[in-house]
Amino acid sequence: MGSAMDHVGAAGGRAKKASGGSQLWKKALLHSSLCFVMGFFTGFAPSSVSDWRSVAPAGVGSSHMAKTPQVIASGAAMDRSLLARDAAARIGGVPRPLLVVVTTTESTPTAAGERPAMLTRMAHTLRLVPPPLLWLVVEAAPDVPATAKLLRDTGILYRHLTYKENFTAAEVAAGKERHHQRNTALEHIERHRLAAIVHFAGLGDVYELRFFDQLRQISTFGAWPVARMSRNERKVVIQGPACSSSKVLGWFSRDLMSNGTAGTGGGTAATSPEIDVHGFAFNSSVLWDPERWGRYPTSEPDKSQDSMRFVQQVVSEDYSKVKGIPQDCLEIMVWGVDTTPTPAPIFLATNSGE
């Protein structure tokens, strides 16, 4: 009797062991299947270090920003990762400062027709500059789609800013649109606290590449002479700081005629200089410096809100904060080309019978 009971108990134990082993095998198979499925679909998901241009919707640049609270295609997190990666580029063990190059455009038909070629030329120049560099391109909303496609193909880290305000032909000629575009760029820099050296680059500007190394040596403000040429007049106007070493003593403007001689007003220092915006750069931290708000009385709130006007005023009034580059400001490293087309001649019909 006892032997029979022992035999039954042993058989039951073997059955339990077989059942338990079957359960473990099923759990292991289920776990392996889940891991396989998760790994399979994870392989199709874009990683955080993937190509930054590939995550944007069709027709919109990955860094395309609207000058509204709504962001059309936010690349902010990816921009930060790319900027952090580019900051690893070092000069003698010290990270290179970020350069922010601001390029404005015009909404006139003539300017719009030349814009693709000039943006492409500027992109080729900026690709030769060592990173980190961020290119801010500002233009009116109707012109965005074509430019967005062009910028995506440049291979440069960029942000494409736009605005909805309209400007008349007279306002464009008076420079009001460009002033508004520069303020749009500075507002973006201030809002996102982009710590960088900011430079305004015109579409017609030509650079000596060593110039960008000089920019990175600026601590607060920097200025340099600019040679400006025109399609319509055979002369060169040189404007910039008068320096002793890197100390700015004043500002000058000089006209050189086509034969190399000085024109009227040549070599004289300007008492109330009209400083070329392409002839200075500054550290973006001045935009959120508390000193900025103490420069204007409370009765003039518009002036304190105009970032571009504030920066120009500091450069023209406080020479102690401005560093002249290069040494003694004797070398021209930036040439500005006036891209305004020559107006076509007007022929008046005459009555041959008179």
Ramachandran assignment for 223, one of left (phi > 0), alpha (psi -120 to 50 degrees), beta (any other): beta
pLDDT for residue 346: 39
Cβ-based burial of 72 (10 A; exposed 0-12, middle 13-18, buried ≥19): middle
Residue type, 163: Y
How many whole angstroms separate alpha carbon 222 and alpha carbon 279?
9
Strand partners, 140: 163
Give the end-to-end CA distance of the chain in Å, rounded to a whole number: 147
Question: How confident is the model at residue 13, as a pLDDT?
Answer: 55
Nearest to 241 by CA among 341, 130, 334, 104: 334
Cα separation, 275 vs 265, whole angstroms: 16
Strand 158-163, strand 133-140: pairing: parallel
SS3 category, 264: coil
Say which amino acid occupies 221: F
Distance, C-alpha 32 to centroid of its chain = 48
CB atoms near residue 284 (< 10 Å): 20
158 close to 137: Cβ distance less than 8 angstroms: yes
pLDDT at res. 337:
82
> For residue 112, what is the enclosing H or E element?
helix 109-127
Would you state the pLDDT for residue 77?
Answer: 46
95-221+272-297+305-321 maps to CATH 3.40.1480.10: no
Phi, psi of 139 (to 5 degrees): -155, 165
Provide the residue type at 113 as one letter.
G
CA distances from 180 to 137, 201, 246 (A): 13, 15, 31
* pLDDT confidence of residue 50: 31
Q: How far lies 95's CA from each of 86, 129, 130, 291, in Å?
A: 9, 15, 12, 27
- Is residue 267 exposed (0-12), middle (13-18) or buried (19+ Cβ within 10 Å)? exposed
**What is the reported pLDDT for 42?**
62
Phi/psi of residue 248, each to 5°?
A: -85, 125
C-alpha 330/C-alpha 241 separation (Å) is: 10
Are the beta carbons of 203 and 102 closer than 8 angstroms?
A: no
In sequence order, the β-bridge partners of residue 268 are: 253
Question: Could you tell me how many residues make up the chain?
Answer: 354
Q: What is the pLDDT at residue 142?
A: 84
pLDDT in tens, the chain (354 residues): 555 555 545 555 555 555 555 677 777 777 777 777 677 666 555 443 333 333 333 333 334 444 433 333 334 444 555 555 555 555 556 789 999 999 999 877 667 778 899 999 999 999 999 999 999 999 998 888 889 999 999 999 999 999 989 898 889 888 899 999 999 999 999 999 999 999 999 998 999 999 999 999 999 999 999 999 877 777 889 999 999 999 999 998 888 765 455 544 444 454 445 688 999 999 999 999 877 766 655 555 555 578 998 898 888 888 889 999 998 999 999 999 876 554 444 333 444 444
Cα 185 versus chain centre, distance: 8
- Give the C-alpha separation, 257 to 266, whole Å: 10
What tokens were used for 125? 């120049």
- Count CB-CB contacts under 10 A for residue 86: 17
Q: Give the model's pLDDT for residue 264.
A: 41
Question: What's residue 138's pLDDT?
Answer: 96
**CB of 219 within 8 A of CB of 286?**
no
Helix (H), strand (E) at residue 207: strand 205-207
Residue 97: left (phi > 0), alpha (psi -120 to 50), or beta?
beta
